[in-house]
Amino acid sequence: MDNLTHSLAGWALAETGLKRRTRKGLAACILGANMPDIDVFFGWVPWVSLATHRGFTHGLVGGVLLMPPILAALLYLLDRVQVARGAQFRSGLPMHFGWLVALCYLGAISHPVLDWQNTYAVQLLAPLSTRWYHNDALFIVDPWILVTLALGIWLARKRGSQNRVRWPAVIALTCVGAYIALNGAISQLARSAPVRGAPYAQPDAVYASPDPVAFWRRTVVWRENGMIARGRFNPLRQLTQLLSHTTPEPDGLDDPIVRRAMKAGPEIADFLRWSTMTTARVKRDGCNATVTFGDARYPSSIGGRNFMEHKVVVDLCRSSGVSASLQ
């Protein structure tokens, strides 16, 4: 999910009354909710972070078990420095390190839980396993969640600091949880639709991406025997079958030129490790062939260009000449 959603989720958790448990409670929830995304700073070209993103720092070991105490220690150290300098805190709250750690954990747990909800997927068991988990319940920026959380936070703050439990924030979080559960159920129906009805597929991988506003609709993409196909699903019109589907197209990975391009270097290896629905297109020009790798989870990966693409140039006039370039 986008960082605004993560921030609002952490803020809403704090506004339920948890931020009153300790000084720096609000910061612990919001920063904890964003902390796993520190991995976007890894790498030296734009897409490298995509290949490592949602790995170790998003897993149950790194992001959930190890990182929250580090954040809590940093916030506690900041508080000690402020106290030493004579700072006055408007909240009037004491510092409770135990609660600070607990709130950092709570914020951190919310991050992989939310990231699990979209097709971008997350390695929940990293580094113990490289398996990608996805629930396909939410578009990566969901306006309905943003509005619900923002409204809950605003109403909770209007109730004043004297209230131990701020019910608007609790209700907003409950509504978001119910909304995610509903969308998860819709996506499960969408993923099974190509199997239950036409084209009666037996996919080895399938994703169901929600529309950004019409959250009940899905674009379903699946791979079967090296072929990629897409379909549209709308439970309001057809509960168990696709409304339409495309003719399967080859993913292009069996081409010998593509196989050579896959060995271009560590950058393309990282990209392929991240891409769970890899596609490839080959364009020949004399002694050179440009191989464009993409991911079928994203609409223009077959037959078009998008920001998820990575290009490799293969020298066809040499038996093993491969050069990689980003375009």
- Contacts for 37 with CB less than 8 Å, ≥ 6 apart: 3, 6, 53, 57, 111
Percent of the chain with pLDDT over 90: 61
**Is 311 within 8 Å of 45 (Cβ atoms)?**
no
Q: Whose structure tokens read 């439970």?
A: 235
Q: Whose structure tokens read 């490839």?
A: 280
pLDDT tops 90 at residue 60: no
DSSP-assigned letters across all residues of 264-291: S-HHHHHHHHH-SSEEEEEEEETTEEEE
- Using 50, 70 and 90 to split pLDDT, how confident is the model at 161? low
pLDDT in tens, 163-218: 577 899 999 999 999 999 999 999 999 999 999 999 999 999 999 999 999 999 99
Percent of the chain with pLDDT over 70: 89
- Using 50, 70 and 90 to split pLDDT, how confident is the model at 16? very high
Sign, CA dihedral 165-169-172-176, equals negative
CA distance 302 to 292: 10
**Which tokens is 262 given?**
């896959």
Dihedral-angle region of residue 136 (phi above 0 means left; psi in -120 to 50 means alpha; beta otherwise): left
DSSP-assigned letters across all residues of 42-103: -SSSTTHHHHHTTSGGGSIIIIIIIHHHHHHHHHHHHHHHHHHTT---TT-PPP-HHHHHHH
C-alpha triplet 237, 238, 241: angle, nearest 5°: 150
219 forms beta bridges with 209, 232
- Using 50, 70 and 90 to split pLDDT, how confident is the model at 327? very low
pLDDT in tens, 220-246: 999 999 999 999 999 999 999 999 999
pTM of the model: 0.88
**Alpha helices (H) along the chain:** 3-15, 25-34, 48-52, 67-84, 97-115, 143-158, 167-196, 256-261, 266-274
| Residues 55, 184, 214, 224, Cα dihedral to 10° | 70
Between helices 67-84 and 97-115, what is the axis angle to 10°?
140
The listed range with the strongest mean pLDDT (58-67, 79-88, 296-305) is 79-88
From the list 52, 105, 58, the residue with the least C-alpha distance to 273 is 52
- Using 50, 70 and 90 to split pLDDT, how confident is the model at 5? very high
**Which tokens is 70 given?**
């580090």
The whole-number average pLDDT for the span 281-285 is: 90
pLDDT in the model for residue 50? 55
Which range has the worst mean pLDDT, 90-99, 103-112, 185-194, 219-228? 90-99
pLDDT in the model for residue 302? 42
**Is 61 within 8 Å of 96 (Cβ atoms)?**
no
Residue 123 burial class via C-beta count within 10 angstroms: exposed 0-12, middle 13-18, buried 19 and up = buried
Which range has the worst mean pLDDT, 16-25, 54-63, 75-84? 54-63
266 forms beta bridges with none
